[in-house]
């Protein structure tokens, strides 16, 4: 069968070089997308205070979700020396609402081994986030997301295939795909127990290089963490975008944060 390149799509030059040409997988390519939305629209400034920009040497690398005043949820492949930026809309500016906070500790899922499985991580930040930004957000437990429901994705990265990142937060709509269809396309790379995938059109667009770790929000609940897509063209509708299924990991999240609650993203 045809071989397609596997990509883990962070967005800074070093990791871009090391991971965008990382390996070849049979039949399918994965590219855990960095934060960047192809198509879509600019988000209303500061309308999504849970959004985190995870930055390396001052450059956006991945997305994340603030789930508590001292914890951010993101993708495990985003691990590295980084700073979490919260309260941002335009990451190229020094907005009064922004907080740049160092990461105190990285907690990748214990079963994550550098592959596509269990690609989820908690970041314990060194300082608690101010009340101006903080809205308590814990994903819904045991939530079911039916196929064809429309969800929202958001991020700061590539605005077109092989293009540049967006300075402002962008968002787009994607629809939940049937798990059987995801398995048909992605074969053994898709694990329906802890993954979820979406369909989209070229016109509507969606996640692309740079959206790793950013949220898939359905009915105001974070149901997914951006994980991977087709390496050569993130905007090819033949290849569903794949997300780590958040509700599968709720017991691990609760244990890691020492906190249990259900809140929606308002």
Of the listed 35, 166, 212, 241, which one is catalytic? Answer: 212
Number of structural domains found in the chain:
2
Pick from 1-15, 68-82, 166-180: least confident: 1-15
| Residue 212 bears catalytic tag | yes
CATH of the domain at 166: 2.40.10.10
**Count of beta carbons in the 10 Å neighbourhood of residue 89:** 21
129/180 same-domain check: no
| Residue 12 bears catalytic tag | no
Q: What is the pLDDT of residues 19-65, one digit of tens each?
A: 222 222 223 333 333 335 777 889 999 999 999 999 988 888 899 99
120/172 same-domain check: no
Would you say residue 103 lies in a domain?
A: yes
Would you say residue 45 lies in a domain?
A: no
Of the listed 16, 77, 189, 241, which one is catalytic? Answer: 77
Tell me which range, 8-22, 37-51, 179-193, 229-243, is most confidently predicted by mean pLDDT.
179-193
Would you say residue 31 lies in a domain?
A: no
70/57 same-domain check: yes
CA distance 137 to 213: 15
pLDDT of residue 110: 96
Which residue range(s) make up the domain with 159? Answer: 138-247
**Nearest residue to 16 via CA among 160, 159, 212, 183:** 212
Q: What is the pLDDT of residues 98-157, one digit of tens each?
A: 999 999 999 999 999 988 999 999 999 998 887 656 555 655 566 677 889 999 999 987
pLDDT of residue 9: 40
Of the listed 119, 166, 189, 241, which one is catalytic? Answer: 119
Is-above-0.85 flag for pTM? no
Where does residue 95 rank: exposed (0-12), middle (13-18), buried (19+ CB within 10 A)?
Answer: middle
123/155 same-domain check: no
| Residue 236 bears catalytic tag | no
120/184 same-domain check: no
Percent of the chain with pLDDT over 90: 50
Would you say residue 261 lies in a domain?
A: no
CA 138 to chain centre: 16
């Amino acid at each position: 069968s045809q071989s397609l390149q596997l990509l883990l799509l962070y967005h800074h030059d070093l990791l871009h070089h090391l991971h965008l040409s990382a390996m070849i997988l049979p039949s399918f390519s994965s590219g855990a997308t960095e934060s960047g939305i192809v198509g879509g629209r600019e988000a209303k400034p500061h309308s999504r205070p849970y959004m985190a920009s995870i930055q390396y040497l001052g450059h956006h690398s991945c997305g994340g979700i603030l789930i508590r005043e001292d914890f951010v949820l993101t993708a495990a492949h985003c691990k590295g020396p980084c700073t979490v930026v919260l309260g941002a809309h335009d990451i190229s500016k020094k907005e009064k609402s922004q907080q740049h906070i160092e990461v105190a500790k990285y907690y990748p899922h214990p079963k994550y081994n550098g592959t596509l499985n269990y690609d989820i991580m908690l970041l314990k930040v060194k300082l608690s986030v101010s009340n101006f930004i903080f809205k308590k957000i814990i994903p819904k437990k045991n939530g079911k997301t039916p196929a064809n429901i429309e969800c929202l994705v958001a991020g700061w990265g590539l605005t077109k295939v092989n293009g540049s990142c967006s300075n402002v937060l962008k968002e787009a709509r994607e629809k939940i795909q049937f798990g059987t269809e995801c398995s048909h396309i992605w074969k053994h790379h898709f694990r329906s127990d802890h993954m979820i995938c979406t369909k989209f059109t070229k016109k509507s667009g969606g996640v692309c290089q740079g959206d790793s770790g950013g949220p898939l929000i359905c009915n105001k609940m974070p149901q997914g963490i951006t994980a991977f897509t087709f390496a050569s063209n993130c905007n090819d509708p033949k290849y569903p975008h794949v997300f780590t299924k958040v509700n599968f990991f709720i017991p691990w999240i609760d244990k890691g944060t020492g906190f249990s609650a259900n809140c929606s993203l308002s």
